[in-house]
Amino acid sequence: MANFARQILVLDSHYQPARILSLQAGFVLTYSGRATSLVDSPHTIRSVTSTWTIPWIIRLHNSPPKRARDRDGLRFSRQNVYLRDGHTCAYCGNKFGLSHLTLDHLVPIALGGKTNWNNIVTACKNCNSRKGSKTIEELGVRLSRVPQRPQYGPAVLFALRYNLHRGKIPTPWLSFLDPRSLARAKELKLSERTVAKW
Ligand SMILES: [Zn+2]
């Protein structure tokens, strides 16, 4: 089980969860003046002459420029497609680590396929190279699910990204995490286990 007690919740300048970092990384962001501590942790760092409190929740002063997001703040990105698909290959139905995954266009770009939620699926490297530039009809593959834009927002993706359902979340963090999004992420993770094939 992940131990979030020794990690820092980083909020963007709009108070939205952005990252989870190690205590050390959060400490550096705060003491270098790039973030403000909103809630301090019970942990401290001591030198011979001083003691510093380590923050638990920090807010960045300048959030990185937002890349293209849709009306609900959802960003189409490699990481988010992998999260939507539960890191599971659309063709063989197996789960893989990041280094074995790729994105695949169902309708190849050469045939006018777009790079969007409806035409991109997670594929393992083997399946992707076997598929090449063929369409799924040519391959005779039938997908068990039609890819689409996730029916949930960035808060659920954040929970999925950090596997928040598997860790003990420090109580002060809960003020900044939407409970419905945490519950939805947990449901999605549980259904990944029961659906053998994507
Ligand atoms: Zn595969």
State the average pLDDT for the chain: 89
pLDDT 10s digits, 98-120: 999 999 999 999 999 999 999 99
Distance 7 CA to ligand 1 centre (A): 34
Ligand 1 centroid to residue 103 C-alpha, Å: 11
pLDDT confidence tier of residue 198, bands split at 50, 70 and 90? very low
Q: What is the pLDDT of residues 39-87, one digit of tens each?
A: 999 888 888 999 999 999 999 998 766 666 777 778 899 999 999 999 9
Alpha-carbon torsion 186, 97, 150, 158, what sign? positive
Who surrounds ion ligand 1 at CB < 5 A? 89, 91-92, 124, 127
* Class of domain 78-139 as given by CATH: mainly alpha
pLDDT tens across 28-40, in order?
A: 999 999 999 999 9
Instruction: Please give the distance, rounded to the nearest whole angstrom, from the Cα atom of residue 84 to the centre of ligand 1.
Output: 16
Which pLDDT does position 150 carry in this prediction? 93
- Residue 122 Cα to ligand 1 middle (Å): 9
Q: Domain map of the chain by residue range?
A: 2-62+152-193, 78-139
- Report long-range pairs for 114-117 (Cβ below 8 Å, ≥24 apart): 115/76, 116/76, 117/76, 117/81, 117/84, 117/147, 117/148, 117/149, 117/150
